[in-house]
Amino acid sequence: MSTHQRAVEHIRQSYAEIPGDAAPRLAKATSNLFRFRDNGKTAKLSARDLDEVISVDPVTMTAEVQGMTTYENLVDATLPHGLMPYVVPQLKTITLGGAVTGLGIESTSFKDGLPHESVEELEILTGDGRIVIARDDNEHRDLFRAFPNSYGTLGYALRIRIKLKAVQPYVHLTHVKFTDADKCMLAMQEICDTMVHDGEQVDFIDGVFFDPDEMYITLGRFAERAPYVSDYTGMRIYYQSIRKRNRDWLTVRDYLWRWDTDWFWCSRAFGVQQPVVRSLMPRRYMRSDVYRRLVALDRKYGFTARVDRWRDQPVQESVIQDVETPVERGADFLRFFHEKVGMTPVWMCPLKSSSDWPLYPLEQGKLYVNFGFWGLVPLPRGQFDGYYNRLIENSVHELDGHKSLYSTSFYAREQFWQLYNGDAYWPVKREYDPNGRLLDLYDKCVRGR
């Protein structure tokens, strides 16, 4: 903790030295955001030495973790104790602070909610330069409750204490095929309600939509032993295996990172799923953060756009979003998405919030399904960038859904604050950032400043 205190003092001093007319930007080695900003007048805020697991306590089943610690490092610290975080987002370089203040979801979210729901305590550098300890039972409760989905506009998480849960060494997977979206959503609702399938306990649930006649729910349960284990960190590709086998076994670590090797399925854009390319590519480069850097380079230098122009191909729009709708509207969303956007596959992950988080406006105790889709879609003739993303925004809210803010958004200001609870946000913003040193949520997530 003494090392942590030195790191805290360093970031506090770094923050104090930023000119008052420059918006602070947290300096991070990796990013999983897809809001490519017009940086304007900004200053980097050093987060040096805030990327470690401070301690893991197997007795209290908690961990003290610095805010910039990646889930990869956190999992590597907890698994030797037979423990894991309640929710482990699917990409290795998502940081704990990023997941708590932004988006985090995975196949335990149907019963364990979102990453912030297992947080016991937050140490936060606030917009006015204070270091505060926020808990659900102290004087900073309003900040603690508003921190999720605030995306660094109320402050930065320096230290987080989270609860952990026990694991077993293996995960047994069952892939259940559906040919009808309505039946798929009904089955997901029933399984999430009972947490049982075919008489067996269910510990994990997610799914993949390939087309209207082919979609799968994947059910996982912990196991002490396994007859074999599959490896999807080399030549074999996890999402393709879902269509080829009914059952599978993975170590718990490989299960947690099953999506990372191919960034779900997005590695195909770089040719990595071609057998020859894959055989030549070192495993250490088959990671989501490598692909993310390639996307950033492409956006900076416009390689894809140049090739499309050279080949006389339509301009493409980047459609990278996670949205959730109530489970009873999930089939409607899939029909809309397939007809109007047409991108496949689509990730499906049920989630349920057990408490009220004012900036993450999900109805407490209600089952939602998150749909994740990431890629490029050719624009219709006469349409401009933003066409598909606006369609999706409108559809999601017509279906009583909710959209995460890690990617592009197009809301008008008044609509945004209605959807993301400005009445709860602004009192906390004024309390902990009265001079507006940090951007507000609309400016950061919609205007991209």
pLDDT over 80 (residue 200): yes
> Which of the two residues, 45 and 200, has the higher pLDDT score?
200
Q: Do domains 2-166+425-445 and 302-410 have the same CATH topology?
A: no
What pLDDT sits at residue 259?
Answer: 97
pLDDT bracket for residue 38 (50, 70, 90): low
Find the mean pLDDT for residues 72-80. 98
Residue 267 corresponds to which tokens in the numbers above? 């590695």
Find the mean pLDDT for residues 199-228. 97
Q: What is the CATH architecture of 302-410?
A: 2-Layer Sandwich (3.30)
Domain 2-166+425-445's class?
alpha beta
Find the mean pLDDT for residues 97-101. 94
Query: Which phi and psi angles does 224 have, rounded to 5°?
Result: -80, -30
Find the mean pLDDT for residues 33-38. 54
Residue percentage of the chain with pLDDT more than 90: 80
Q: Rounded to two decimals, what is the model's pTM?
A: 0.92
Find the mean pLDDT for residues 287-314. 75
Name the nearest CA neighbour of 48 among 133, 158, 160, 162.
158
Query: How many residues in the chain?
Result: 449
> What count of other Cβ atoms lies within 10 Å of the Cβ of residue 113?
23
Q: Is 20 helix (H, G, I), strand (E, B) or coil?
A: coil
Find the mean pLDDT for residues 388-402. 95
pLDDT bracket for residue 449 (50, 70, 90): low
Name the nearest CA neighbour of 161 among 61, 25, 281.
61
Find the mean pLDDT for residues 178-202. 97
HEC profile for 337-385?
A: HHHHCCCCCEEEEEEECCCCCCCCCCCCCCEEEEEEEEEEEECCCCCCC
What pLDDT, in 10s, does the model give residues 236-245? 999 999 999 9
Measure the CA–CA gap between 102 and 345, rounded to whole angstroms.
24
Residues 203 and 250 sit within 8 Å (Cβ to Cβ): no
> Which of the two residues, 301 and 25, has the higher pLDDT score?
25
Q: Is 190 helix (H, G, I), strand (E, B) or coil?
A: helix
Measure the CA–CA gap between 103 and 114, rounded to whole angstroms.
8
Residue 244 corresponds to which tokens in the numbers above? 């080829």
pLDDT bracket for residue 303 (50, 70, 90): low
What pLDDT sits at residue 339?
Answer: 97
Q: What angle do CA 381, 384, 390 make, to 5 degrees?
A: 115
Measure the CA–CA gap between 178 and 184, rounded to whole angstroms.
6
What pLDDT sits at residue 279?
Answer: 93
Q: Where are the domains of the chain?
A: 2-166+425-445, 170-258, 302-410
Find the mean pLDDT for residues 209-220. 98
Q: CB neighbours of 280 closer than 8 A, spacing ≥ 6?
A: none
What pLDDT sits at residue 39?
Answer: 54
pLDDT over 80 (residue 442): yes
What pLDDT, in 10s, does the model give residues 401-426? 999 998 889 999 999 999 999 999 99
